[in-house]
Amino acid sequence: MRIFMTDKTKPVSIRLAKNEIDQLQARAYTLSASVTGVARDLIRTGLAGGDNKALADRLMLIERRIVALEQQGQETHARIQSIDQAARDLLAMFEAAVEGAYWREHREGSMTRHLRIIAFIAASLSR
């Protein structure tokens, strides 16, 4: 990430421990950049609020949100399963009621036909 500065710049000198310089050199080698460029970028990132503590805080916040979303997802899934089971139960009850009504109508319809035939025969005999 390269930031172009339009303001005048001034050199800054800092003292670092040998292991910190080694870390800067290793990072510079990995990025194919200069040690000064990597140090400048790290300083600017820190000044812009991208320091490790701020990043750790943001990551912790993101992790908490993910956990909350996972919990909401599990609760929603449980509610969906409950609703699905209730719908299946209602469908089974409806199908049983329709089937019972069909057989009741069929049985009563047969009796009505039989009674009509008996009444017709009885009327024919009485003439």
pLDDT in tens, 55-102: 788 889 999 999 999 999 999 999 999 999 998 888 888 888 878 776
CB-based contacts of 45, cutoff 8 Å, min separation 6: 51
| pLDDT at residue 9 is higher than 90 | no
- Confidence (pLDDT) at 43: 86
Categorize the per-residue pLDDT at 108 as very low, low, confident or very high, splitting at 50, 70 and 90: low
* 51 in Cβ contact with 59 (< 8 Å): no
